[in-house]
Structure 1
């Protein structure tokens, strides 16, 4: 993935983090965004409505953002390479 491109990848975090309910009264789940704009930033997501709110209200600094994007891309490359070996 090239810098400046956007990806909608995310991962689920354990339920130990308290999350608000959605406007539909369903509980939300905390996910981690792995987009270029918000790498490593946690957010609350409803199963029905999607994004609800950010857990992390502060944006990462530029060097943190760059480091997280680089690490994410390295992990993705490694997974692609190792999946072809099976």
Structure 2
């Protein structure tokens, strides 16, 4: 069950965030909604209890692996889209060439 957002000292609901530091990987906390803003109140409250060191290492290793897979997928998606574009252009040029030869059009 999700925790209700408390009000920070700015009188706005605090934002649920997740820490990915080496000291607190995957640990959730509430923070000021104006974080990094000039009017931030620096509100901070942990939701999750601290992790044991062996659990921290496992969480960090899994997070690193997930990010590597996501980067690889993004890279593959980019090249898949470029390949589609290439084949569309080649197909259009081939179709134009066939049409030109069928209708006797010379450049």
Q: TM-score, normalised by structure 2?
A: 0.59
Give the paired residue count: 71
Larger Rg: 2
Higher relative contact order (CA 8 A, sep 6+): 1
Higher helix share: 2
Q: 1:28 aligns with which of 1, 14, 18?
A: 14
In 2, Cα distance between equivalents of 1:72 and 1:32? 12
Q: TM-score, normalised by structure 1?
A: 0.72
Higher strand share: 1
- What is the CA RMSD across the aligned residues, in angstroms? 1.8
Matches within 5 A, 1:1-86: 16-48=2-34, 49=40, 52-56=44-48, 58-86=49-77
**Structure 2 unaligned regions, length at least 5:** 35-39, 78-107
